[in-house]
Chains A and B, each alone.
Chain A
């Protein structure tokens, strides 16, 4: 430290210390400018997001607590927590659970089957297919399934020939479980996509170290493989849950709004299929959905953090 002092106090030498002097005398204008530029640069994006995302969401939350006359009330929420709307929530959660757990597990097995295949062609093919299938939209998917497994669908007809017509055994494409069945079509590929990197992160050296220590295949999976994969699997399932819970298009186009699911119920109110006096109910339902989805995403980020630590 004394060096610096000696240097700066000597006017004869050209001193790097003069820089230190300069920063101390930045004008407040300059400092403001330095803050302003990033703000200005980011403002289009921020403003757009606030307008497009923030305002509708705030509006929904606000209106959930508003009565038709405009007073603050909790009656919307309490109404929504019972009766058919409660059934709607339960159904939605049930549907989301079914179509996240089952496709989740199936997706893991499928992903593992693909990844351990020796043929890189197969692997590449399936990777591409998963990316595409996970993107198949609601409406198009609906009609494909109607054409295949509807009452007069092609597959139904074929299966009828061999006396295995699913409709005769209680299958109904246009029911709750029919919707779940169709959801699998994009939920499984989604899980495959999500879990594949995690599978790739299972190091060969762990497997070999376990073998070296005397572990059988079963022991390896039990003590190392499954525990290490579990955060990613859970994360994937959470993602699937969120995706299925919030879905509207597939269910709507398949069942034309008959089944009680929260998104469908919102849609019915918006469409005017339901009594107009209940508009604020829709906001209350949406509020409930937001709560469920927010919890889901918080859990997801927590789980994701854990998995990234282990699978570095």
Chain B
């Protein structure tokens, strides 16, 4: 498994606190009938930022909470810096966690919230206040030090929560969908801030989210999960460009399914032959679908073509068309100025423009895309 690490921003002295290495080994957790974690294994390098991405119920939060110590796995181990922490209570794991919302202690102001972990570590009042002040500075909230949580906006609260988690200089920083409850604009700002902070401090970070934009833009590696298992772990660019499973192809970015016929290592798509991307073609038997991204298809207006445009959605720089070819609907992204000339009902001929195609077993009933 390739592990690429981005260089931390050289915006200051290199951090001395190297994060810890984390290994989650075959974690299994069942709730009644549901398998929240089904043999989940992941290795995280020191200082790496890993995002756990997936739909709700995929087990990403369970995995995070198991790492934090709030859940006990039925089997499997949690190993940090080579030490098995499976029987260590959450209290003693030395990790900093940022929760989705409302986790600041309401009876303390920002400064005391941030200083809480230090207080638990029996640091002196002076030390605590100083460190807490530094951290509030780091997140840009030193003017809010004496404010109480109910006096702060959601974004400010989460920044304080972040400062609080970082104050104890944790070996691992855990974030459980910290941006989900915030407005879009605040979310974007906080995203950048979290990422730059993390790089500066080089703390090993695990970030849970269901928002792929967040995951792809922030993480060193993204771990896509579904039903308690890992679908794919890769660097964001690879994850997007070369999804290895149908789930990833359709969860990360957008894909259209087109039934094709597999001939050896090739399929025929829109009248041309292309090699298949998936490594293990022999595992595929029976009918297959090609999973193609909207930007991998180009269209040409042709009155004699069999396909026609049924939908048109303006997204700014690009316009998304849905082209109906018989039973199949294909999403195509076209530059908006070109799309201006293409009306609904226009007959177009699609062409596949990437070098290889992801192929997956055919779904019994693939619903046509509706956007």
Contact = CB atoms under 8 A, between A and B. Distances in A.
Check A-B contact in the complex, CB < 8 A. Answer: yes
Contacts of B100: 205
B97 A228 contact: no
B311 to A, nearest CB: 37
B369 interface: no
A224 interface: yes
Interface stretch (A5-13, A167-175, A180-188, A208-216): A208-216
A212 B107 contact: no
B95 interface: yes
Pick the most buried of A208, A214, A215, A228: most chain B CB atoms within 10 A of its CB. Answer: A214
A95 B105 CA distance: 36
A227 B113 CA distance: 14
B90 A211 contact: yes
Interface in A219-276: 219, 223-224, 227-228
Given A214-B117, A228-B107, A309 B95 contact: no
A210 B107 CA distance: 13
B96 interface: yes
Given A213-B120, A227-B107, A228-B106, A309 B150 contact: yes
Nearest to A224: B105
Interface in B161-181: 161, 164-165, 168
Interface in B335-368: none
Contacts of B251: none
A213 B90 CA distance: 9
Contacts of B370: none
Contacts of A177: none
A312 B150 contact: yes
Interface string A88-128: 00000000000000000000000000000000000000000
Contacts of A309: 106, 150
Contact of A203 (B102, B108, B119): B102
B258 interface: no
A136 interface: no
Nearest to A212: B97
B314 interface: no
A208 B165 CA distance: 12
A206 B117 contact: no
A280 B199 CA distance: 80
Pick the most buried of B95, B117, B120: most chain A CB atoms within 10 A of its CB. Answer: B120
B90 A208 contact: yes
Given A208-B97, A211-B90, A216-B91, A223 B150 contact: no
**Is the interface on chain B under 10, 10 to 19, 20 to 34, or 35 or more residues?**
20 to 34
B97 A210 contact: no
Nearest to B174: A212
B151 to A, nearest CB: 9
A72 interface: no
A7 to B, nearest CB: 33
A219 B153 CA distance: 27
Interface residues of A, number: 21
Given A224-B105, A310-B106, A310-B107, A212 B150 contact: no
Interface string A173-199: 000000000000000000000000000
Interface in B227-286: none
Main secondary structure of the interface of A (DSSP, over half): helix
Contacts of B101: 205
Contacts of A290: none
Contacts of A205: 99-103
A216 to B, nearest CB: 6
A311 interface: yes
A17 B280 CA distance: 72
A215 B113 CA distance: 13
Given A206-B105, A211-B90, A214-B168, A219 B120 contact: yes
Contact of B99 (A208, A215, A310): A208
Contacts of A206: 103, 105-106
Pick the most buried of A203, A208, A212: most chain B CB atoms within 10 A of its CB. Answer: A212
A28 B69 CA distance: 71
B276 to A, nearest CB: 46
Given A214-B120, A215-B91, A223-B105, A310 B97 contact: no
A127 B97 CA distance: 35
A212 B95 contact: yes
B105 A214 contact: no
Contact of B92 (A214, A223, A227, A310): A214
Contacts of B150: 309-310, 312
Contacts of A228: 105-107
A135 B319 CA distance: 67
A203 B101 CA distance: 10
Interface in B70-109: 70, 89-92, 94-97, 99-108
A209 B91 contact: no
A208 B120 contact: no
A52 to B, nearest CB: 39
26 contacts: A203-B102, A203-B103, A205-B99, A206-B105, A206-B106, A208-B103, A209-B104, A209-B105, A210-B105, A210-B116, A211-B69, A211-B90, A211-B91, A212-B97, A213-B120, A214-B92, A214-B121, A219-B120, A223-B105, A223-B108, A223-B116, A224-B107, A309-B150, A310-B107, A311-B106, A312-B150
The 3 residue pairs across chains A and B that have the minimum distance between CB atoms: A213-B117, A214-B120, A310-B106
Interface of B: 68-70, 89-92, 94-97, 99-108, 116-117, 119-121, 150, 161, 164-165, 168
Given A209-B99, A215-B91, 13 more contacts: A203-B102, A205-B100, A205-B101, A208-B99, A208-B103, A210-B116, A213-B168, A216-B91, A223-B116, A224-B107, A227-B107, A228-B107, A309-B150
